[in-house]
């Protein structure tokens, strides 16, 4: 009966059950390995001579609230072929581990719904043991992420910590999985990825990213056949930065006290989408007052709203005409900041309009970056940086909540 329980309940097979002991509320199974089952751990030869044994204990998944441990005299054998003395391999546990494979699987299943600390408390082990199990599983699954089937990518960087540390993240837009995490930012962080990608012979169609010159140069060099798609989120973000610069410039030039009072504190009103303004706080009225008093600011604001409509166009041809018209209006405004921005858009027009060929963006990657930040906050940071990067590779598997 107990041999059947060990096999069906805990995955322990090929061993002979000896007895069960109950010690201080815990269950202890004693087993032994039959003599005819001994094999050389190196060449798997049955021609071995027993040379002693060493008692070892292993943790099993609990039965209800009771901890379960298994004890086994691990035989040392001398192989007639290899002529060495070694301990025999243990089928139900990995080398140099004090827990069984079934215990590791159970801990990983709990880790999908609980924090590392909660799992450790439930199983009555240390925090570092559960982390070790998680890390070993992540290393096995994500040591080499397959790249051959990649077609569309998104690239962005994320700031971690308070010391200016960055990670560069590459996302597969089809599956939503992270396929590369590089140290730092810029083209150098991506060099290991480009080499692996070239070796995989993946046929990349398009890459979504911001208008970073480093990324543009790297993608053009390593993926000459791929189309670059500049994300609309980053374009609007860049325009908002220009809008803030214009507001500050106008505020410095304003001479009348009334004008300065109206312009002061309108930065967030200018950056917000009109539909998000709070009517209870009179934000729409304050915004209209600022625009009414200053023509350049009003021109820039309405051009911003018109620029957002670019990505609502039905096709590439219509979008090209719309972008050309918008740039002409910005150049005719006479506002230096808007003219510079229009020049930037003209320079990168091909990448902007490629959106209408592939309909991709870095939006999914922005969501992944938010998950990474949440994971980092919930874990109060990660001292093991390698473990943190491995957790990023698996972050697309999160279904219920982010746990540390």
Residue boundaries of the structural domains of the chain:
2-98, 100-143, 152-231+361-397, 232-358
Mention every residue, 6+ apart, whose C-beta is less than 8 A from residue 230.
208, 209, 210, 211, 348, 351, 352, 354, 355
Which one, of 61, 72, 74, lies nearest residue 27 by Cα? Answer: 61
Sheet containing strand 206-209, strands side by side: 178-183, 165-172, 152-160, 206-209, 227-230
Backbone angles phi, psi at 265, to 5 degrees: 80, 15
What was the pLDDT predicted at 398?
A: 67
Model pLDDT for residues 217-226, shown as the tens digit of each residue: 999 999 999 9
Averaged pLDDT of the chain: 84
What was the pLDDT predicted at 139?
A: 92
Both tokens assigned to 114: 């609980």
Mention every residue, 6+ apart, whose C-beta is less than 8 A from residue 30.
17, 18, 19, 20, 21, 70, 71, 72
The residue-averaged pLDDT of 133-154 equals: 92
Residue 292 has pLDDT above 60, yes or no: no
Residue 404 has pLDDT above 50, yes or no: no
> What is the distance between the alpha carbons of residues 403 and 400, in angstroms, rounded to a whole number?
9
User: What is the third-level CATH fold of 152-231+361-397?
Assistant: Nucleotidyltransferase; domain 5 (3.30.420)
Model pLDDT for residues 324-370, shown as the tens digit of each residue: 999 998 898 888 888 999 999 999 999 999 999 999 998 888 888 88
Strand partners, 183: 167
Per cent of the chain over pLDDT 90 is 42
Both tokens assigned to 315: 């096709």
């Amino acid at each position: 009966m107990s041999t059947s329980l060990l096999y069906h309940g805990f995955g322990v097979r090929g061993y002979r059950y000896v007895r069960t002991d109950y010690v201080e509320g815990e269950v202890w199974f004693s087993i032994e390995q039959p003599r005819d089952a001994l094999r050389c751990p190196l060449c798997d030869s049955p021609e071995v001579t027993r040379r002693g044994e060493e008692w070892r204990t292993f943790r099993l998944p609990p039965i209800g609230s009771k901890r379960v441990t298994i004890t086994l005299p691990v035989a040392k054998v001398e192989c007639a072929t290899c002529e060495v003395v070694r301990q025999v391999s243990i089928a139900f546990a990995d080398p140099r581990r004090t827990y069984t494979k079934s215990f590791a699987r159970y801990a990983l299943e709990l880790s999908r719904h609980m924090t590392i600390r909660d799992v450790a408390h439930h199983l009555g082990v240390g925090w570092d043991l559960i982390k070790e199990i998680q890390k070993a599983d992540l290393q096995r699954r994500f040591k080499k992420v397959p790249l051959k089937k990649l077609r569309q990518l998104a690239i962005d960087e994320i700031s971690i910590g308070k010391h200016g540390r960055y990670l560069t993240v590459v996302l597969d837009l089809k599956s939503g999985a992270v396929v590369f995490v590089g140290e730092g930012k810029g083209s150098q962080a991506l060099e290991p990825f480009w080499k692996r990608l070239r070796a995989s012979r993946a046929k990349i169609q398009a890459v979504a990213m911001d208008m970073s010159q480093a990324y543009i140069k790297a993608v053009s060099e390593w993926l000459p056949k791929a189309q670059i798609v500049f994300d609309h989120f980053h374009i609007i973000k860049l325009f908002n930065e220009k809008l803030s610069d214009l507001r500050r410039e106008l505020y410095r030039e304003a001479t009348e006290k009334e004008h300065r009072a109206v312009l002061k504190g309108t930065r967030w009103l200018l950056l917000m989408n009109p539909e998000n303004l709070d009517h209870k706080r009179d934000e729409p009225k304050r915004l209209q007052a600022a625009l009414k008093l200053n023509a350049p600011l009003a021109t820039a604001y309405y051009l911003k709203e018109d620029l957002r409509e670019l990505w609502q166009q039905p096709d590439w041809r219509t979008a090209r005409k719309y972008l050309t018209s918008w740039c002409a209006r910005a150049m005719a405004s006479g506002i230096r900041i808007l003219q510079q921005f229009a020049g930037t858009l003209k320079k990168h027009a091909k990448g902007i309009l490629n959106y209408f060929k592939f309909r991709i963006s870095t939006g999914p990657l922005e969501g992944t970056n938010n998950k990474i930040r949440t994971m980092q906050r919930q874990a109060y940071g990660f001292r093991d940086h390698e473990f943190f990067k491995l957790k990023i590779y698996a972050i697309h598997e999160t279904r219920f909540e982010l746990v540390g």
